[in-house]
Structure 1
Amino acid sequence: MNEMVTIPKAEYDRLRAAADDLADIALYEAAKADIAAGRDELIPAAFADRLIDGESPVRVFRELRGLTQSALSRSSGVNRVQIADIEAGRSAGSVETMRKLAIALNVTIDDLV
Structure 2
Amino acid sequence: MNQHTALAQKTIAISRADYEALTTKIEDLEDRLALARSGKEESFPSEVLDRLLDGENPVRVFRTYRKIKQNALAATCGISKGYLSQIESGAKEGSLSVYRKLADVLDLDIDDLI
TM-score by length of 1: 0.72
Confirm whether residue 96 of structure 1 aligns to residue 100 of structure 2.
no
Matched with 2:75 is 74
What is the rounded CA distance, in whole Å, between the counterparts of 1:52 and 1:67 in structure 2?
Answer: 21
Q: CA deviation at 1:31?
A: 3.4
Confirm whether residue 55 of structure 1 aligns to residue 66 of structure 2.
no
Q: CA deviation at 1:27?
A: 4.8
Give the AA of the match of 1:59: R
The structure whose Rg is larger is 2
Matched with 1:107 is 108
Spell out, residue by residue over 1:9-65, the C-alpha distance to the aligned partner (whole angstroms, 9 max, x if none): 4x75xxxxxx99xx497356313234x1x3x11111011011111100000010111
Give identity over the alignment, percent. 38
Moved over 6 A (4+): none
Give the AA of the match of 2:112: D
TM-score by length of 2: 0.71
